[in-house]
Amino acid sequence: MKTTKLVAGILMIVLSVFILFQSTVAGLGNALSGNGETGGSGGMITAIIYLTTGIVYIATKSNKKMTADIINMILLLIAWLSAISNAGSYSDLTVWGWLAFIIGIGFFVWHIFANRKTKSTQELQ
């Protein structure tokens, strides 16, 4: 689980830079066309949350407690809601939102099962 959290954290930090760039371009396009869409702002929020959760995953990669995974799950669910509700013409934001949902729920569920496996192994010894 350590290696997976490290890799996921690094990928989330790299993706946050990419999402931030895309959001800046989408926000500029929305401002120039005056269409009133908020995809750029939603993308910025999503990028900041990706950056934050990536840092937390790296910092807590060897932690056995669930606290960091719960916080990251909540943050990534906020990113998901922000992304899918603000996407508009910035359709890539929907993809980043669903990816945030999958990562947040996936790591949380995986950590629960890993803790159960460790607990049952310790009981057998």
> 27 and 40 in contact (C-beta within 8 Å)?
yes
pLDDT exceeds 80 at position 1: no
pLDDT at 123: 67
| Structural contact between residues 9 and 107, judged by C-beta atoms closer than 8 angstroms | no
Give this prediction's pTM: 0.87
Task: Mean pLDDT check: name the lowest of 9-23, 29-43, 64-78.
Answer: 29-43
Q: Is the pLDDT of residue 120 over 80?
A: no
**pLDDT for 103:** 93
pLDDT, tens digit, 9 for 90 and up, residues 53-82: 999 999 998 887 888 889 999 999 999 999
